[in-house]
Amino acid sequence: MRKLAGHFKDWYSRGTTTFEGPDALTTERYNSRDAEPRWQKYWSDNHCFEAVEDTSRPKYYVLEMFPYPSGRIHMGHVRNYAMGDVIARFKRACGFNVLHPMGWDAFGMPAENAAIERGVHPKTWTYENIAAMRGQLKSMGLSLDWSREIATCDPSYYRHEQAMFIDFMNAGLVERKVSLVNWDPVDQTVLANEQVIDGKGWRSGAIVEKRELAQWFLKITDYSEDLLKALDRLEKWPEKVRLMQRNWIGRSEGMRFSFVLEDAGGRELPGKLTVYTTRHDTIFGASFCAISVDHELSTEYSAHDEKLAAFRREVSALGTSEETIERAEKKGHALGIYARHPFKPGVKLPVYTANFVLIGYGEGAIFGCPAHDQRDIEFARKYGLPVIPVVAPQGVDAAAFEVGDEAYLDKDGSDARLINSDFLNGMSVADAKEEIATRMEAMGIGERKVNFRLRDWGVSRQRYWGCPVPVIHCPSCKIVTVPKSQLPVTLPEDVTFDKPGNPLAHHPTWKNVKCPQCGGDATRETDTFDTFIDSSWYYARFCSPKADVPVDAEAARYWMPVDQYIGGVEHAILHLLYSRFFARAMGKTDHMHWDEPFASLFTQGMVVHETFKTPSGDWVFPADAVQTDGQWFHAKTNEPLTIGGIEKMSKSKRNVVDPESIIAGYGADTARWFMLSDSPPERDIEWTEAGAEGAWRFTQRLWRIVNDASACGRDGSIAEFGPVAMELRRVAHRTLAAVTDDLSSLRFNRAIARVHELSNALGAALAAGSPAPDLSFVIREAADILVLVFAPMMPHLAEECWVKLGHRQPVVETPWPTPISALITDDEVTIAVQVNGKRRDEIKLPKGLAKDQVEIAVMKLEGIKRALEGKSVMKFIVVPDRIVNIVSGG
RNA sequence: GCGGGCGUGGCGUAAUGGUAGCCGCAACGGACUUAAAAUCCGUUGGGAGAAAUCCCGUGAGGGUUCGAGUCCCUCCGCCCGCACCA
């Protein structure tokens, strides 16, 4: 029987045994439980990682996305922080003045959920979690500057957020407007999208309603163009993230224009219907108009149309999530009014309220051209509306061209031409757009308009555990900001969660205040900020975490921008976009002058794990899964288990592995090593017990190799190295060069493969026994290199090894070595020789040999002669020092 | 639905458009041991062959190229984001 987690107890009981071989060479096992706390204390006592501004040295700011204090760290954190730590330690060794801070994204809903479910105060819950997680992170041996630790729920942090919000208000970056929220009518509370499940509130089960609420917005759309354009400059960001942000901002060039409306009898109605489109070229294919259920016309008509009102209720029960809205079947309800086609006299388009038209985009109204839009055609087929193709590939017969259930979308650069479109016939899409725009502008019914998909950032949350909005509502003075001298507006602590809704809204002494302007009775704003605000500037606060302004200018000038930012792809859009905006807003209000906070971004993959299920479908913790004869069983109930998919570690699927027990058992170095090995960092990594054990065995192997090497002499007077010694030297220096390169480009998995290679070469040299003085010297040199190159990944083991090798300074104070260039270059290269693209032989040649010389040598090869037998050489391709390809025929 | 990504041996993976499979895991064989563990050495994509060697092979199909895992198109599968989760 093999038990998954927990069996490292075995090794620990073995951990103190010594090996007493006949040759009296005794090596104690490396004991991480002893070494790791010891070195952590050393680093801490000597303030090794506390950053101090020093303009005489180049700085390097490495930051991992700070964690939400959920209570325990998970493997995703281990992976994230291990990566950041490798970079921090590597850059440090390379001579940079490194800033590597840590903090807590400490406001948010889970704290309130804990309060509701278990009666713990959110503050107590949060700070206890922080304490627990701080301890766990410290046990990882991260080179963090803990003296700069911040928590966003601390008034010393959020007071600056409040001050900046007031400055943003004064700078015109804040707006108060009405927007839609998910309302739970039973719990009397606003729900997050994730709390709406199948249109129902997660706790109450009540049908969710959409409700209009006055909310605070930050005007991120003021920067739409700039946020888009500046993406081009972010060359060290992954292209996919830049693309996602581009699409999110969604700049489009189109037209806004108005239809004249008429009733069923053909009588013109007052008011016009304004739509936005990017496909004005398809106007002759229009067969209906559709407006959002939240459009003012929908509201107006539903007053005396009960069916329409019912339809709107149905749609609003879907909630506010764009995903659910767009996934829903396309449905609509005819208003009974019509839009007059601007170019087709007498043609009228029925106006529908439709569930797929979004109020937040464009005008909340569209014209539908089913032939060339997938959503429109689904709608048209459902309601029997005409489908008129108006764009077709060039040369296609207009009369015969038909569109089925799939819209015809002309691709960029296609040669599509307009058909069935009167004066547009024969034009390209671009020309047709131009023509329509010109005509509509001349007719005075519309204008060209650049539109963005990006919406303003709604920052109001009707919740307790967040930063209070520093505003007071006064019946006479209206909205008054809290004077800066009275900041911070702190959260009251005497709150309970037994009543539905926001505790701030029914806290009389906190809520009721005097107006700072007129002194009359007034009330505090009871909304708190979106926690994305907290995380939109924490990177800047780390520069001067104790300053009495949000950001100390001098410190920011030195440390900003973040040179390397690391976190999950799930933040590719919102957090990163909000941070980019916030930096600009802070620039406008003179708090910081650095528009792009993250010079280089790396998005790491998730940690995934096998899942286990019982016959009744319950998820089982991997720790409870036991394998006997290839079949898995539950350790306690003995039920047979089936292996589910390999999925992101999550509590609900119970496929979590607790880092604390892994670190306690195998040690932090092993956990770090495994998280960095095998998978490339941007890809998902699967946690496997076998892999962790492999990593653990490798730490022991390194320890053994270093111990054996430390017994070798280090005679510095070697005049000449023999071939065996030279070969090991080459391997060592090549490894050093390769690891330097791999770490610089964050390819940790490759660096680890190279460390394995060097340890294999060293192991082989040591296994041969009694090395001659030249080899002995090289073994010591190679061992030093080995330790220094794995040090960023396994810092505790490295320190321990370094002492063993007789060094007096710790690794942490030892500079990164430089490879000897003569040892990493070769004067001979092995070249593959292909015939018609297939490898037939290979040849060793001096580097840089001329093409005709290569040809002569290659034609003598047996394999080539054989392959070319009876054939003529048509072409001879030589890629210098890489490959030869002979094209033959006949 | 829209947007983005990924897909290579039994498994995790490596490979500036240039010898597909470095390195690791697992498995198997061997050494050491009374034995086991640990450790060390070796083998390991599929097929044919005594061997030399040959054929096939990077999710499927097509294309560009002297040459494609890599670039382009279509399809399939899986994953991430979608504005109040963080």
pTM: 0.91
Q: How far is the CA of A882 from the C1' of B18 (A)?
A: 7
**pLDDT at residue number A587:** 96
| Paired tokens of A219 | 């005007």
Planar angle of CA A827, A831, A835, nearest 5 degrees = 160
Non-local CB neighbours of A4 within 8 Å, separated by 6+ positions? A622, A623, A625, A626, A627, A689
Residue A2 pLDDT grade (very low, low, confident, very high; cuts 50, 70, 90): very low
Most confident by average pLDDT, A113-127, A190-204, A494-508, A599-613: A113-127
**pLDDT at residue number A744:** 94
**pLDDT at residue number A652:** 64
Q: How far is the CA of A826 from the C1' of B8 (A)?
A: 30
Residue A20 pLDDT grade (very low, low, confident, very high; cuts 50, 70, 90): very low
A745 touches strand B (CB under 7 A): no
Q: Do residues A658 and A73 make contact, with C-beta atoms less than 8 angstroms apart? A: no
**pLDDT at residue number A16:** 30
Q: How far is the CA of A235 from the C1' of B70 (A)?
A: 22
**pLDDT at residue number A126:** 96
The ipTM assigned to this model is 0.94
Q: Closest protein residue to B4 using CA and C1' atoms?
A: A244
Nucleotide nearest to A179 (CA to C1'): B84
Q: How far is the CA of A353 from the C1' of B21 (A)?
A: 58
Q: Do residues A405 and A387 make contact, with C-beta atoms less than 8 angstroms apart? A: no
Q: Which residues pair with A616 in a beta bridge?
A: none
Higher per-residue confidence, A445 vs A203: A445
How many Å apart are CA A884 and CA A877, to the nearest integer? 6
Read off the amino acid at residue A841: D
Non-local CB neighbours of A720 within 8 Å, separated by 6+ positions? A774
Beta strands in A380-508 (DSSP E): 391-392, 417-418, 446-452, 457-458, 460-461, 471-474, 478-481
Residue numbers 347-406 of A with CB closer than 7 A to any atom of strand B: 360, 374-375
Q: Would strands A97-99 and A838-846 be described as parallel, antiparallel, or unpaired?
A: unpaired
A680 touches strand B (CB under 7 A): yes
How many Å apart are CA A389 and CA A738, to the nearest integer? 59
**pLDDT at residue number A654:** 67
Helix (H, G, I), strand (E, B) or coil at A459: coil
Helix (H, G, I), strand (E, B) or coil at A582: helix
Q: Do residues A479 and A473 make contact, with C-beta atoms less than 8 angstroms apart? A: yes
**pLDDT at residue number A797:** 96
Read off the amino acid at residue A242: R
Nearest partner of A259 among A361, A334, A337, A313, judged by Cα: A337
Using one digit for the tens of pLDDT, what is the confidence trace for A611-667?
Answer: 776 766 666 776 676 665 556 677 777 777 766 666 676 666 666 778 888 899 899
Using one digit for the tens of pLDDT, what is the confidence trace for A289-307?
Answer: 999 998 999 999 999 899 9
A471 touches strand B (CB under 7 A): no
Using one digit for the tens of pLDDT, what is the confidence trace for A441-482?
Answer: 999 999 999 999 999 999 999 999 999 999 999 999 999 999
Residue A890 pLDDT grade (very low, low, confident, very high; cuts 50, 70, 90): low
Nearest partner of A495 among A530, A471, A468, A459, judged by Cα: A468
A455 touches strand B (CB under 7 A): yes
Residue A329 pLDDT grade (very low, low, confident, very high; cuts 50, 70, 90): confident
User: Does the structure show a pLDDT above 60 at A27?
Assistant: no
Q: Do residues A246 and A228 make contact, with C-beta atoms less than 8 angstroms apart? A: yes
Residue numbers 825-854 of A with CB closer than 7 A to any atom of strand B: 830, 832, 834, 836-840, 842
**pLDDT at residue number A410:** 67
Helix (H, G, I), strand (E, B) or coil at A493: coil
A323 touches strand B (CB under 7 A): yes
Mean pLDDT on A123-138: 96
**pLDDT at residue number A616:** 67
| Paired tokens of A29 | 């096992």
Q: Do residues A72 and A432 make contact, with C-beta atoms less than 8 angstroms apart? A: no
Instruction: Report chain A's mean pLDDT, rounded to a whole number.
Output: 88
**pLDDT at residue number A826:** 79
Q: Do residues A58 and A640 make contact, with C-beta atoms less than 8 angstroms apart? A: no
Q: How far is the CA of A321 from the C1' of B81 (A)?
A: 13
How many Å apart are CA A624 and CA A633, to the nearest integer? 8
Using one digit for the tens of pLDDT, what is the confidence trace for A787-820?
Answer: 999 999 999 999 999 999 999 999 999 999 999 9
A887 touches strand B (CB under 7 A): yes
What distances in angstroms separate CA A437 from CA A254, A255, A256, A409, one per listed residue?
Answer: 9, 7, 10, 21
Nucleotide nearest to A375 (CA to C1'): B1
Nucleotide nearest to A180 (CA to C1'): B84
Non-local CB neighbours of A654 within 8 Å, separated by 6+ positions? A611, A612, A619, A620, A621, A622
**pLDDT at residue number A679:** 87
How many Å apart are CA A778 and CA A724, to the nearest integer? 10
What distances in angstroms separate CA A181 from CA A211, A469, A530, one per listed residue?
Answer: 5, 18, 14
A697 touches strand B (CB under 7 A): yes
Q: How far is the CA of A665 from the C1' of B38 (A)?
A: 18
Chain B nucleotides near the protein (CB, 7 A): 1-6, 11-16, 18-20, 22-26, 38-41, 53-55, 66-68, 78-86
Nucleotide nearest to A832 (CA to C1'): B19
End-to-end CA distance of chain A: 64
Nucleotide nearest to A466 (CA to C1'): B84
Peptide bond into A640 cis (omega under 30): no
Sign of the C-alpha dihedral, residues A70, A75, A81, A84?
negative
Non-local CB neighbours of A374 within 8 Å, separated by 6+ positions? A406, A407, A409
Element (H or E) spanning A274, and its range?
Answer: strand A268-277
| Paired tokens of A63 | 């930051």
Residue numbers 102-141 of A with CB closer than 7 A to any atom of strand B: 105, 107-110
Alpha-helical regions (H) of A522-589: 531-534, 538-541, 553-559, 574-588
| Paired tokens of A105 | 């994204």
Q: How far is the CA of A747 from the C1' of B31 (A)?
A: 37
Residue A512: CA atoms inside 13 Å, Cβ hemisphere, count?
6
How many Å apart are CA A542 and CA A552, to the nearest integer? 10
